[in-house]
Amino acid sequence: MPSSPTLNRRRLLAGSAGALTAAGLTPLAGKAAAQQPAAAPKPLPPYAAWKDANSLIVHTSSTIETRRSAFGTSVITPGEQLYVRNNLPAPDAAIVADRDAWEVRIEGVKQPRSLSVRELKALGVETVAAVLQCSGNGRGFFPSKPSGTPWTVGAAGCVLWSGVPLRAVAQALGGVADGMLFITGTGGEKLPEGIDPKTIVVERSVPIKALDDALLVWEMNGAPLSLAHGGPLRLVVPGYSGINNIKYVKRLAFTATETDAKIMSHGYRVTPPGGKAEPSQPSVLEMGVKSWINSPHPDSGSLPAGTVLIHGVAFGGAQALRRVEVSTDGGKSWSEARFVGPDLGRFAWRQFVLQARLAPGSHVLASRATDTAGNVQPEQRLENVAGYNNNSWADHAVRVSVG
């Protein structure tokens, strides 16, 4: 019987906007408009033309966000739906014409040299599931309206990365040289002439402890790494914010100090309100514990009274996730949600679900994650000039009307 609660539940678990439409729901204005940019659809840029336009919000040709309604329930984010962020124009597609020929210069090891992707593929292979999230994800919820893309939840995804552990590369070249404290990756974009490269190059340093987990990656979700996501070769630092995962990496150096590139010294600093970015302020590195609800989402429309399946994603950032609680009363009371699907390790996100009975009226649904170190997702964002690191559960709550 199509109207049986079991069947409706299955449809909702399918997690698509289509399922909600099938359940006879109509779009809701108001909050929806406030949370997501109105759909004045810009076309996908050529380097990302293969993506699923219906799942994405194209802010600009270098900032493309996954729709909240497009996140499914099966853990891995398909490449066609994954967000894109480029600080510089994407390189020419010619660089992925002969992927194995791409070279990365390895420095700060006992025997520095350049290695081709072909050579890297002979040194080892590992696969990790990890959340990739822009540090500005959630910026759109800052009332201070920081400059930069007003991402809500969709500058994030969970994908499978395959490549060689960076540790194996260092070992093959005699080991890390003495006194090195950072891993510094440099993007392979062509830089415009006549400008000091340090002011524009995408070059970032992460603490050397990241060597435990970092990979040089050539494959994502079982396919050769696309140009959009950093092919032919990308540095992936699981647990660290998007910017530290250098696309088209052309130099990988173990260094004694952080790079003095501007994107490191002044970019991606957590600057207190009213302040100016400075190297002394915290850099955007390890991600914090975070979750949000994807269904019902702000455009879900009016829900029929009765049982609803509330689902979303949660991750610990640098730590494994312990649990997720869901509230249907704006955070006054909480119930533990159930995890759905496989646990793909400490850097992956987990899908969660809570079945709730909602009375007619308006409800604020929220989720709150806790990691294995006991860190709890905070109610409030940490205010900062650029709108980084927003993991506030209150900002990510959704208001729904029932019945």
Ligand X SMILES: Nc1nc2c(c(=O)[nH]1)N[C@H]1C(S)=C(S)[C@@H](COP(=O)(O)O)O[C@H]1N2
Which of 17, 109, 132, 313 binds ligand X (CB under 6 A)? It is 132
Ranges within 347-376 binding ligand X (CB under 6 A): none
In three-state secondary structure terms, 246 is: coil
Strand runs (DSSP E) across 152-283, as ranges? Answer: 156-165, 182-187, 203-207, 215-220, 223-224, 234-236, 249-255
85 in contact with Mo ion (CB under 5 A): yes
One character per residue 202-241, x = contact with ligand X (rule: CB under 6 A): x--------------------------xx-----------
For residue 71, the SS3 value is: coil
Q: Is 86 among the residues that bind ligand X (CB under 6 A)? A: yes
Stretch that binds Mo ion, among 184-192, 235-243, 292-300, 381-389 (CB under 5 A): 235-243
Compute the least distance from the CB of residue 45 to ligand X, in Å. 12
Structure-token pair, residue 332: 């006054």
Q: Toward Mo ion, which CB reaches closer, 87 or 401?
A: 87
Chain residue whose CB lies nearest Mo ion: 134
Peptide bond into 298 cis (omega under 30): no
The nearest distance, CB 352 to ligand X, in angstroms, is: 23
Among ligand X, Mo ion, none, the one that 281 touches (CB under a kind-dependent 5 to 8 A) is none
Phi-psi region of 375 (alpha: psi -120 to 50; beta: other; left: phi over 0): beta
Q: Is there binding between residue 246 and Mo ion (CB under 5 A)? A: no
* Residue 340 near residue 353 (C-beta atoms within 8 A): yes
**Could you give the CA distance from residue 149 to residue 8 in angstroms, rounded to a whole number?**
36
From Mo ion, ligand X, none, interface partner of 158 (C-beta below 5 to 8 A by class) = none
- If binding is defined by CB under 6 A, does position 245 make contact with ligand X? yes
Given the complex with ligand X, which of 130 and 397 has the nearer CB atom? 130
Q: Are strands 321-327 and 234-236 parallel, antiparallel or unpaired?
A: unpaired
Is 85 near ligand X (CB under 6 A)?
yes
Task: Give the side-chain half-sphere CA count within 13 A for 211.
Answer: 19
| Closest among 234, 85, 239 to 158, alpha carbons compared | 239
Residue 183 and residue 288: Cα distance in Å, rounded?
21
- Burial of 168-184, coded b for 16+ CB within 10 Å and e otherwise, reads bbbebbeebbeebebbb
253 counts as binding ligand X under rule CB under 6 A: no
247 binds ligand X (CB under 6 A): yes
Q: How far is the CB of 112 from ligand X (least distance, A)?
A: 21
Q: Which is nearer to ligand X, 20 or 95 (CB)?
A: 95
Residues sharing a CB contact under 8 Å with residue 72, sequence separation 6 or more, in sequence order: 14, 15, 16
Query: Which of residues 82 and 214 has its CB atom nearest to ligand X in the complex?
Result: 82
Single out the segment in contact with Mo ion by CB under 5 A; choices: 2-10, 32-40, 131-139, 214-222. Answer: 131-139
C-alpha torsion sign, points 139, 143, 146, 149: positive
Distance CA 385, CA 137 (A): 14
Residue 146 in the binding site for Mo ion (CB under 5 A): no
Binding mask 19-48 for ligand X (x = CB under 6 A): ------------------------------
CA atoms of 100 and 331, how far apart (whole Å):
51
Q: Does residue number 202 form part of the binding site for Mo ion (CB under 5 A)?
A: no
Tokens of 374: 């006991």
Binding test (CB under 6 A) with ligand X, winner from 72, 242, 312, 316: 242
User: Could you tell me the end-to-end alpha-carbon distance of the chain, in angstroms, rounded to an integer?
Assistant: 21
Which partner from the list ligand X, Mo ion, none does 56 bind, CB cut-off 5 to 8 Å by kind? none
234 sits near Mo ion (criterion: CB under 5 A) = no
Looking at beta carbons only, is 136 or 301 nearer to ligand X? Answer: 136
Q: Does 134 contact Mo ion by CB under 5 A?
A: yes
Among 84, 104, 183, 324, binds ligand X (CB under 6 A): 84
Query: Is residue 284 a contact point for Mo ion (CB under 5 A)?
Result: no
Question: How far apart, in Å, are the Cα atoms of 131 and each of 8, 270, 352?
Answer: 30, 21, 15
Contact segment (CB under 5 A) with Mo ion among 84-92, 159-167, 288-296, 307-315 equals 84-92
Residues that bind Mo ion (CB under 5 A): 85, 134, 242-243
Which positions lie near ligand X, rule CB under 6 A? 82-88, 132, 134, 187, 189, 202, 229-230, 242-243, 245-248
